[in-house]
Structure 1
Amino acid sequence: MMNNPYRPGGAYGGYPGYPAQQGGMQYGGQMSPPPASGQFISPTGQVAPTSMLPIEQSFIENILRLNLGKMATLYMTYENNSEWNAKIFKGRLEAAGRDHIIISDPTTGMRYLLLMVNLDYITFNEELKYAYPYGQQPPLTTR
């Protein structure tokens, strides 16, 4: 059986940016020590503290963060739910994370914490802010 270089433990020691099974990253045939807690390994092998992570403007949560405060309609699907399979939420976009969105209903003050895994799509009644630096290395930012 041939060793797949793109699987963890393969010829490259794992996926780029993720530690290999043996505890380190392998780039260009050299094994480096595993990153210390609180460090991030870039695809080029450079070590940066997690307080300096790359901005990936294309991720949904980052697009939503650019549009905080705007009114949104979120279409969600809940599989295997006997009461309701799909639900629509309307509210002001308060926050967005990797796995969640927080909206608030301005008429009732009710806040909703919604999981990204259930999100189908979002509509807005106004123009969105969107920035994506095509072909550029994303800058580092503190979080």
Structure 2
Amino acid sequence: MPMPVPQTTTAPQVTGMLPLEQSYIENILRLNKGKLVTIFATFEDKQQKKFEGIIEAAGRDHVIISDPQTGVRYLIPMVYLDYVVFSEPIEYEYPGITPPPGMLSQYSPR
């Protein structure tokens, strides 16, 4: 008797983003590009620092923000990032993309 082959469902790709089911911090930051945030980071010497600015870009290992008051830009490695505080609602869903039914339920919460 033949074994059934499981069907795999993949979400549509958004340019510059990882697949929908992979909601990594850099993707959330990219979705919120242009918003004012406060980033809290702890560095190797246990020094904690707070950065405030507008999200300009985010990569797998960094985030770039600019201070609207001074124009100073910060490149913050993700390894030091503790958490991000948004001063307005957060965009979390990929624009124009609805996950297939049951797709998100197949993953356990983190």
Structure 2 equivalent of residue 141 of structure 1: none
Structure 2: 5+ residue runs without aligned partners? 1-7, 9-14, 105-110
Q: TM-score, normalised by structure 2?
A: 0.67
Structure 1 equivalent of residue 54 of structure 2: 92
Structure of greater relative contact order (alpha carbons < 8 Å, 6+ residues apart): 2
Instruction: Give CA-to-partner distance per residue, 1:21-80, whole Å, 9 cap, x none.
Output: xxxxxxxxxxxxxxxxxxxxxxx7xxxxxx998524511111111100000000000122
% identity of equivalent residues:
55
Displaced runs of 4+ in structure 1, greater than 2 A?
51-54, 132-137
Letter in 1 for 2:84: I
- Count of residue pairs brought into register by the alignment: 85
Structure 2 equivalent of residue 75 of structure 1: 40
Task: Please point out which of 76, 80, 83 is paired with 1:118.
Answer: 80
Structure 1 equivalent of residue 89 of structure 2: 127
Q: TM-score, normalised by structure 1?
A: 0.52
Over the residues paired in the alignment, what is the CA RMSD in angstroms? 2.6
Q: Which has the larger radius of gyration?
A: 1
Cα 1:97–1:54, aligned 2, differ >3 Å: closer, same or farther?
A: closer
Structure in which a larger fraction of residues adopt helix: 2
